[in-house]
Amino acid sequence: MEQFDFASLKRQYGITGVVHVGSHYGDEGWEYLEAGLDQVIMIEADPVAYEEMSRRFAETAVLCVNALVTDTDSGYTKFFKSNNEVSSSIYEFKDHLSYHPSVTMVDEFSLHNNRLDTVISDKPHDKVNCLVVDVQGAEKLVFAGATALMKQIDVVITEYSTAEMYDGGTMYYELEEILFGFERVAPVHLVHHGDALFVRRNK
């Protein structure tokens, strides 16, 4: 995920807490802590990556959670693990193969579905007003399962795609429809795949 300066974002938009879905090893967690955010919840679906993230932040205030976030609390979804790990997804590759031919899926397993609202329901999140989504095509599912949380969110940082990187994955135009109350402030020009910053209008 593109590195945003969270200290600057905190000052500019009054960010006080963050939920990060698809945090892998939690590299951004240190930035959240350095920025002085009051509440940090980092969620990772891959059990192996979660274990490493949990180890890294064991002595901090970061709450680490192992959960696959989708739009439902029932059933299971197949999870495809890539050889570079950071491209793992619930969707198989499509255009991703053309842009990154050396990256392949090397394993697959089923994980239980969880809505984001459910995942954080028993965790302190009253000061969370920023949502970071880095889930390789499953963005629309995350937002669909976060209707309660989104009422308190002022800043969204999300991965986006204008190309069909994943088969069935979320397209940028869908994100604009979902985030209709937000304005994209970065990047100025979209590329085929990247990270975007959205801020609630009139914030």
How does pLDDT run across 37-63, given as a tens digit for each residue? Answer: 999 999 999 999 999 999 999 999 999
Is 80 a domain residue?
yes
How does pLDDT run across 139-187, given as a tens digit for each residue? Answer: 999 999 999 999 999 999 999 999 999 999 999 999 999 999 999 999 9
Q: Domain total for the chain?
A: 1
Q: How far is the first Cα of the chain from the last one, in angstroms, to the nearest whole number?
A: 24
| b/e per residue 23-44 (b: at least 16 CB within 10 A) | bbbbebbebbeebebebbbbbb
Is 144 a domain residue?
yes
Q: Residue 203: its pLDDT value, please?
A: 67
Q: Residue 188: its pLDDT value, please?
A: 85
How does pLDDT run across 175-188, given as a tens digit for each residue? Answer: 999 999 999 999 98
Tokens of 122: 């028993």
Q: Which ranges of the chain would DSSP assign to H, the alpha helix?
A: 6-13, 29-34, 47-56, 96-99, 116-119, 139-144, 172-178
Is 107 a domain residue?
yes
Proportion of the chain above pLDDT 70, given as a percent:
98
Decide if pLDDT at 126 tops 70. Answer: yes
Q: What is the CATH number of the domain that holds 132?
A: 3.40.50.150
Is 124 a domain residue?
yes
| Residue-range definition of the domain harbouring residue 74 | 6-200
Is 1 a domain residue?
no
